[in-house]
Chain A
Amino acid sequence: MTGAVRSADGTTIGYETVGAGQGLLVVGGAWRAARDYLPFATALSGAFTVHVVDRRGRGRSGPQGEDYSIEREVEDLLAVQEQTGATIVFGHSYGGLIALEAARRAPVFSDVAVYEPGVSIAGSIPLGWMGLYRERLAAGDPRGAFAAMVRGAGGAPRALERMPLWYVKLMLRLFIKQEHWRHIEPLLEAGLAEHEQVAALDDTSIDRYQAITARVILLGGAKSRPFATTALFDQLAAALPDTTSELIDGLGHTAPDEKAPEVVADRLRRHLMGQASRAKSMIA
């Protein structure tokens, strides 16, 4: 089932709904659309009504627009929240950053779950690839741009970081199936604008998140580097009033969308159910 809402600046934001139960919003990362999270949403659909948001710039939603910033993303998410009444939000990567930014502005969520959110503390997220990415895009070399990101963003094997760009492009020819690339390519410009926001929000402190009243579930993969998981979770746990975190064995950054949607969904469900029973026992 599909739905749509008009955001504060008039942009249409589309979303897809599956399942039955308490409302849960899913906000995906850069170079991804709602369709990429449908296996994850389906895995949660037995316990929740899951609304997977097509962030602006993809799927059924309108374009990013001239005035793009994290504020637009927050407005979009809150518009979908208002229409659906969902009080749980799950954000992956850049979507995790949006979820946290929304939660500190509006106390509408009871639970905020994030998988390796794009929160950069004092330059912790490697963004040095953006210059070459921008240059390759402008030169009409979209695969080169994407390869620059894969090589530099801290998610690839260390050996790949020292390889020439042609080599990384060649690897990606096999690693990314043609039909998947057709989905990624139209999102390359948007991915750049989104990471400009990651850079703009980079700060030496994350005290701004002290304003979050929701319970926050921090998830990550044990194969990812500490800047995306433990190092970040430690700082968030120190700043936020109520957090739980879990590092899942064998998973990396693209687990919720590609590698292991069922595993992440299972862990998330357990955390949410556990918190529900904890809340009940506190009332009792």
Chain B
Amino acid sequence: MFRLMARDLSRRLHRLTARLDRAADAFLRAEAGVSYRRFLALHLVGSEGADTQRALADRLGVTEPSVSRMVRVLAESGLLETTRAPDGGNRNRLRLTAAGEQLVTRWGTDLEERLAGMVEAAGVPYRAYLAHTERLLAELEA
């Protein structure tokens, strides 16, 4: 029984993230008016330094044309702006607008609070679980 459980971690993690992704996507579409994918892109631009289309494509693991479309839509919604790079090159810098920053901060915090409430309600210690997850991610991405 223990062996089976231990071997099942991969699928359980898959189910966990797949379900969280679906729930977060439905929540953000309903409350913030953006998909989870676009929300993550805004977060990457605003808080993780993905300030070019190439960097954003790299972080999201998608192609540049795909990111280019996304950036256009986000810019049209007034959440993101593109500015000419200071060195005069042809690579545009991505930056959140005030509305974009507000959206990321407000709904990022809200989503995390809801998730934390859910984790605690399940009797799982939030901080320890977060620390374990961070360690796993660091190991995978090292």
Interface flag for B126 (CB, 8 Å): no
Within 8 A of A (CB), among B78-127: 111, 113-115, 117-118, 120-121
Asked if residues A175 and B27 are in contact (CB atoms below 8 Å), the reply is yes
Interface flag for A170 (CB, 8 Å): yes
Report the separation of the CA atoms of residues A137 and B57 in the bound assembly, to the nearest whole angstrom: 47
10 tightest CB-CB pairs across the interface, nearest first? A178-B117, A174-B23, A174-B27, A178-B121, A171-B26, A174-B114, A170-B23, A173-B118, A171-B23, A170-B19
Binary B-proximity of A172-215 (CB < 8 A = 1, otherwise 0):
01110111000000000000000000000000000000000000
Query: Which residue of chain A is the closest to B28 with respect to CB atoms?
Result: A174
Report the separation of the CA atoms of residues A145 and B25 in the bound assembly, to the nearest whole angstrom: 23
Interface flag for A157 (CB, 8 Å): yes
Binary B-proximity of A242-276 (CB < 8 A = 1, otherwise 0):
00000000000000000000000000000000000
Asked if residues B30 and A173 are in contact (CB atoms below 8 Å), the reply is no
List 12 extra interface pairs beyond A167-B22, A177-B113, CB under 8 A.
A171-B26, A171-B27, A173-B23, A173-B118, A174-B23, A174-B24, A174-B26, A174-B27, A174-B114, A175-B26, A178-B120, A179-B117
Within 8 A of B (CB), among A144-177: 157, 167, 170-171, 173-175, 177
Q: Which residues of B contact A179 (CB under 8 A)?
A: 117
Q: Which residues of B contact A175 (CB under 8 A)?
A: 26-27, 30
Which DSSP category, helix, strand, loop or mixed, fits chain B's interface?
Answer: helix
Report the separation of the CA atoms of residues A78 and B34 in the bound assembly, to the nearest whole angstrom: 46
Query: Which residue of chain A is the closest to B119 with respect to CB atoms?
Result: A178
Within 8 A of A (CB), among B1-55: 19, 22-24, 26-27, 30
- CB of A104, distance to nearest CB on chain B (Å): 37
Report the separation of the CA atoms of residues A58 and B9 in the bound assembly, to the nearest whole angstrom: 43
Q: Which residues of A contact B114 (CB under 8 A)?
A: 174, 177-178
Query: Which residue of chain B is the closest to A181 with respect to CB atoms?
Result: B121
Within 8 A of B (CB), among A117-167: 157, 167
Interface residues of B (CB under 8 A from A): 19, 22-24, 26-27, 30, 111, 113-115, 117-118, 120-121
Asked if residues B22 and A170 are in contact (CB atoms below 8 Å), the reply is yes
Q: Which residues of B contact A167 (CB under 8 A)?
A: 22
Q: Which residues of B contact A157 (CB under 8 A)?
A: 30
- CB of A156, distance to nearest CB on chain B (Å): 10
Report the separation of the CA atoms of residues A27 and B97 in the bound assembly, to the nearest whole angstrom: 43
- CB of A139, distance to nearest CB on chain B (Å): 20
Q: Which residues of B contact A170 (CB under 8 A)?
A: 19, 22-23
Asked if residues A174 and B121 are in contact (CB atoms below 8 Å), the reply is no
- CB of B101, distance to nearest CB on chain A (Å): 23
Report the separation of the CA atoms of residues A173 and B120 in the bound assembly, to the nearest whole angstrom: 12
- CB of B118, distance to nearest CB on chain A (Å): 6
Q: Which residues of A contact B118 (CB under 8 A)?
A: 173-174, 178
Report the separation of the CA atoms of residues A275 and B30 in the bound assembly, to the nearest whole angstrom: 36
Q: Which residues of B contact A178 (CB under 8 A)?
A: 114, 117-118, 120-121
Report the separation of the CA atoms of residues A170 and B15 in the bound assembly, to the nearest whole angstrom: 12
Name, among A157, A167, A174, A175, the residue most crowded by chain B CB atoms within 10 Å (CB to CB): A174
Q: Which residues of B contact A173 (CB under 8 A)?
A: 23, 118
Asked if residues A177 and B117 are in contact (CB atoms below 8 Å), the reply is yes
Report the separation of the CA atoms of residues A170 and B115 in the bound assembly, to the nearest whole angstrom: 12
- CB of A258, distance to nearest CB on chain B (Å): 12
Can you give 21 A-B contacts (C-beta < 8 A)? A157-B30, A170-B19, A170-B23, A171-B23, A173-B23, A174-B23, A174-B24, A174-B26, A174-B27, A174-B114, A174-B115, A174-B118, A175-B26, A175-B30, A177-B113, A177-B114, A177-B117, A178-B117, A178-B118, A178-B120, A179-B117
